[in-house]
Structure 1
Amino acid sequence: MTETKQHASGAEARRRDSAATKRALLAAAREVFTRQGYDNAGLRDIAQRAGTDKRLIGRYFGSKENLFAEVVAEAYEKMLLSAPEATHATAVALLSGAEPDNPDGLLLTLRSASSERAAEIMRDSIERTCEAALADALIGPDAVGRAALLLSICAGVHLQRNILHSRSLTNADNTDRLVPYLKAALDAIAATPAAAPAGDSVDQSPQSD
């Protein structure tokens, strides 16, 4: 093997090792952040779980905040969205317990929400990705606000059913009966709002004597 080929082979091996190390750190960080929350998670613990040196976190991510931001982006990547044409499928998935590939996203959120900085990172991630994507799929006014409402409903049902294990929502006999109610709630927000009749407006201008 020539010197040039040896150098290229060595560089490729280092890139593969770097990618593998970064993936291991992300996986370990996700586990630790989900279990302990942002404030209680230690970089040494994360590095030990990844089987690597703590200093590599600084090399690959720069800081604990940046590492958490990447974990959050990955955890929220497949968040269940309720686009207008998919409200029935969303209702079925939520009530049947069919979760995305990353069901720990809500636990990560709950256990880190008490940290002001972590909450800011999570809020920014949701607004830039999930909320923005859903708002783009909505027609009519207040799309961003309606998108936030849809995400809140989905997160609430997920919390009640899969984290708190509500007996009413985990009872298999209830699933088919409850789907139409949840779909109707999602439809009420996802559907294009009808224009309010002129007579329904309330004149709140000051009245003269």
Structure 2
Amino acid sequence: MQDDDGAPPATARRRDSAATRAAILQAARRLFVERGYDGAGVRDIAGAVGVDPRLIGRYFGSKEKLFAEVVGLAYQKSLMMTPELNGEAARALLIDADRSALEGLLLTLRSAANPQAAAIMRDIIENSYQHLLADALPGRQTDSRAALLVAICSGVLLTRMILGNTQLNGPEAEDLIPLLHKALDAVAMAPEPPTTA
């Protein structure tokens, strides 16, 4: 149907592959956070956007690849816990209410029971965030120390944001910042070389 001037009506939906792809990605993120990897099917995601489920394969290749892209975005704003930034990191872990951090935790917890999803999340953490952190740390054993810093960060966020620990959410949380700062520095600082006897 056309208007008198031959142009399509203003209400006609124009094809915009970038917008469709972005809408699928946004819907997938929301559903993976709410339901986890196993609970969010391709049809659910496509239905949330109002598109044919085959478009997910067209734009992303598979549910696994779509999930990997969602995880990459969810983990994108991870903290750098290097000696010069650990004061800020400690404050962010104990005080900030970052919605993206909460979504990343929920996505992780609700998807970790699926071995394929767990492998995707582990690979993204290790090959992206943890690798960048290891490159920024001084001294030796940077890969292992980066992994430990990631575990400390995850544990604090889980205990505070998901479990709602009262001590980590109360007025005394501010007093814990210097202690967490020291704990992060203990791992992030270059370790002393081993002494030879």
TM-score (normalizing by structure 2): 0.89
Partner of 2:102: 103
SS at match of 1:130: helix
Q: Distance in 1 between the 2:18 and 2:41 partners? A: 22
Partner of 2:40: 41
Q: Distance in 1 between the 2:25 and 2:195 partners? A: 53
Partner of 1:52: 51
Q: Distance in 2 between the 1:156 and 1:77 partners? A: 18
Q: Is the 8 A contact 1:94 1:157 kept in 2?
A: yes
Q: Distance in 1 between the 2:173 and 2:101 partners? A: 22
Q: Is the 8 A contact 2:167 2:173 kept in 1?
A: no
Paired residues, number: 184
Runs (4 or more) in structure 1 with deviation over 2 Å come to 97-103, 195-199
Q: Distance in 1 between the 2:193 and 2:174 partners? A: 32
Q: Does 1:92 align with 2:68?
A: no
Partner of 2:191: 193
Partner of 1:179: 177
TM-score (normalizing by structure 1): 0.84
Structure 1: gaps of 5 or more residues: 1-12, 200-209
Q: Distance in 2 between the 1:159 and 1:186 partners? A: 17
- Written as runs of structure 1 = structure 2, the 5 A alignment for 1:125-140 is 125-140=124-139
Q: Is the 8 A contact 1:97 1:161 kept in 2?
A: no
Q: Is the 8 A contact 2:74 2:100 kept in 1?
A: no
Q: Distance in 1 between the 2:182 and 2:97 partners? A: 19
Structure 2: gaps of 5 or more residues: 1-13
Q: Is the 8 A contact 2:68 2:120 kept in 1?
A: yes
Q: What fraction of aligned residue pairs are identical, expressed as a percent?
A: 53
Q: Whose Rg is larger?
A: 1
Q: Distance in 2 between the 1:180 and 1:196 partners? A: 28
Q: Output the amino acid matched with 2:172.
A: N
State the Cα deviation string for residues 112-152 of structure 1 (Å, max 9, x = none).
Answer: 00101001111111111100000000111110110010011
Inter-CA distance 102–48: structure 2 relative to 1 (3 Å threshold): farther
